[in-house]
């Protein structure tokens, strides 16, 4: 039975222990699973901090073409922490997974603290269980990406503002504002956390903050760093000739077109949990949670979800909808589910003592099944041959030479080859005019992934220097 006695924290410890153990089997995988392009881009920036410059103001990417690699991007906090971790432990491809897992665990602790303060122990425990088994949070908490770090920072921001509502302690206010700033620096969508931040405080407390001290802290600690960084990032894009991935600015007609993209609603509306029958118990409890929250006048949770959803449909790039765009929704959905589950537990307990236990069994089955159905397939390596690329490159290509790879705009081959340069479609490598252009821009070699067992193609203007069953290396004389 879930109680609030002396052993109540053992439930949380057991839950987090299972969460950590469940990640161990695939923790040391190289970043060659789903979204490997984003993972290798992140890890490449961290490695370049170690090998080129540790100045966090000037992050460098591998897919730099003929440029220096310096680019404007979201604040590389995660990348820099990974750089420091590699300095401490020595370089390994999987250290980014370890870092993400640790920061995701911190986010779960923040969620527990926030939900327990606002809704009690049972709601907090159910919320943590729900977020921990969310297909997005579970999977991306072991990916070399900054998204879970951003979500954890946003949850921490709300946790400390909830504390401040009761304590009026400056340390809680400053901690909340600082984490809000960090979340926005890491990922722009975190700015929507301001809505639940305001709603948690309530009208009177917000008006009470309209004094020089609190306003100055919010401006200097919460807003100025993020605004300053993104202005700096835009300057880097212009000054160094490389752009990174930012959200577009869509008009009404473009947004309506974006909504027509196949799978958009599956991606972004309740995408935190698998849109499968196995997730039905979670969905039912989350809807119940909304009803309970509405009756209590606790609008900050559905407001949080609505704010994230609005941001995504208005500002997300209209040409694609990566599923991790929906990650900021997961903590709000988890709180809804936790509140609904706690209410259902109390209601069922009044009917028969076995009923809440049965509910937990069904809910746990739904959560575990969710992971088995939707997460495990994503662990499959997309191309395990890439782990050999550095050895292939070291045997044929000087480390300082720029290369061209044929992965159509993804930096994966560049990262594993430990080289810099271009990533283009194979069709461009087979185009003599394009090859001549790349040569004139500084490319000295072509590193191709060829279909297993096939003969390397003949490339006009390039000399075949090496080939095996998977790769071919050409020199550009």
pTM over 0.75: yes
356 and 404 in a single domain? The answer is: no
Tens digits of per-residue pLDDT, 6-16? 568 899 999 99
345 part of a folded domain: yes
Tens digits of per-residue pLDDT, 370-421? 777 767 777 888 899 999 999 999 999 999 999 999 998 899 999 999 999 9
460 part of a folded domain: yes
375 and 439 in a single domain? The answer is: no
pLDDT at 34: 86
369 and 405 in a single domain? The answer is: no
Neighbouring C-beta atoms of residue 22, cutoff 10 Å: 16
The closest of 195, 190, 186, 331 to 272, measured between CA atoms, is 331
41 and 105 in a single domain? The answer is: yes
Q: What is the mean pLDDT of residues 338-352?
A: 94
pLDDT at 273: 44
344 and 389 in a single domain? The answer is: no
40 part of a folded domain: yes
2 part of a folded domain: no
435 and 359 in a single domain? The answer is: no
354 part of a folded domain: yes
Residue with tokens 């603290």: 113
CB distance 100 to 143 below 8 Å: yes
207 and 63 in a single domain? The answer is: yes
Boundary (domain end) residue, out of 330, 364, 379: 379
Phi-psi region of 35 (alpha: psi -120 to 50; beta: other; left: phi over 0): left
Size of the chain in residues:
477
352 and 399 in a single domain? The answer is: no
25 part of a folded domain: yes
Q: What is the mean pLDDT of residues 110-138?
A: 94
1 part of a folded domain: no
What total number of domains does the chain contain?
2
Boundary (domain end) residue, out of 329, 358, 379: 379
Instruction: Residue 352: give the domain boundaries.
Output: 8-379
419 part of a folded domain: yes
Judge whether residue 317 has pLDDT over 60.
Answer: no
Q: What is the mean pLDDT of residues 87-109?
A: 97
**Positive or negative CA dihedral for 405, 411, 417, 419?**
positive
Q: What is the mean pLDDT of residues 219-247?
A: 85
What is the full DSSP assignment across 17-74? HHHHHHHGGGTT--S-STTHHHHHHHHHHHHHHHHT---TTS-B-S--TTS-SB-B-S
Backbone phi and psi for residue 321, each to the nearest 5 degrees, phi listed first: -140, 85
Q: Of 12-26, 48-62, 97-111, 250-264, give the lowest mean pLDDT range.
A: 250-264
């Amino acid at each position: 039975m879930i109680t609030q006695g002396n052993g109540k924290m053992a439930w949380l410890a057991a839950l987090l222990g299972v969460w950590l153990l469940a990640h161990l089997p695939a923790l040391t995988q190289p970043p060659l699973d789903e979204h490997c392009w984003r993972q290798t881009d992140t890890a490449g920036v961290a490695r370049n901090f170690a090998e080129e410059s540790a100045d966090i103001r000037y992050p460098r990417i591998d897919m730099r073409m003929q440029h220096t690699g310096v680019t404007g991007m979201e604040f590389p906090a995660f990348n820099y922490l990974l750089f420091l971790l590699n300095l401490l432990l020595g370089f390994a491809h999987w250290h980014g997974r370890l870092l993400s897992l640790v920061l995701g665990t911190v986010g779960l602790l923040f969620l527990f603290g926030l939900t327990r303060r606002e809704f009690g122990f049972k709601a907090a425990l159910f919320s943590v269980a729900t977020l921990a088994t969310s297909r997005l949070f579970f999977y991306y908490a072991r990916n070399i990406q900054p998204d879970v770090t951003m979500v954890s920072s946003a949850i921490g921001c709300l946790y400390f503002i909830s504390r401040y509502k009761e304590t009026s302690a400056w340390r809680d206010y400053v901690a909340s504002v600082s984490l809000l700033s960090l979340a926005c620096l890491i990922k722009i969508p975190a700015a929507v956390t301001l809505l639940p931040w305001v709603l948690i405080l309530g009208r009177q407390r917000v008006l009470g903050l309209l004094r020089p001290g609190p306003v100055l802290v919010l401006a200097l600690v919460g807003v100025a760093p993020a605004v300053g960084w993104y202005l700096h990032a835009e300057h880097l894009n212009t000054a160094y000739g490389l752009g990174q991935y930012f959200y577009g600015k869509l008009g009404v007609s473009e947004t309506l077109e974006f909504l027509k993209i196949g799978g958009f609603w599956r991606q972004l509306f309740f995408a935190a949990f698998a849109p499968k029958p196995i997730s039905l118990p979670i969905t039912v409890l989350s809807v119940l949670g909304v009803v309970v929250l509405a009756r209590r006048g606790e609008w900050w949770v559905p407001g949080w979800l609505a704010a994230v959803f609005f941001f995504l449909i208005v500002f997300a790039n209209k040409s694609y909808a990566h599923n991790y765009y929906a990650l900021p929704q997961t903590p709000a959905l988890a709180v809804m589910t936790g509140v609904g589950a706690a209410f259902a537990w109390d209601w069922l307990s009044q009917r028969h003592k076995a009923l809440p236990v049965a509910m937990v069994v069904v809910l746990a089955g739904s959560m575990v099944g969710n992971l088995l159905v939707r997460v495990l397939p994503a662990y499959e390596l997309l191309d395990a041959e890439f782990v050999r690329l550095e050895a292939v490159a070291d045997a044929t290509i000087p480390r300082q030479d720029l290369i061209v790879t044929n992965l159509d705009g993804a930096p994966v081959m560049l990262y594993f080859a430990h080289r810099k340069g271009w990533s283009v479609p194979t069709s461009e490598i087979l185009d003599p005019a394009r090859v001549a252009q790349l040569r004139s821009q500084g490319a000295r070699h072509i590193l191709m992934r060829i279909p297993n067992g096939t003969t390397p193609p003949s490339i006009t203007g390039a000399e075949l220097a090496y080939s095996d069953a998977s790769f071919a290396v050409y020199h550009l004389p």
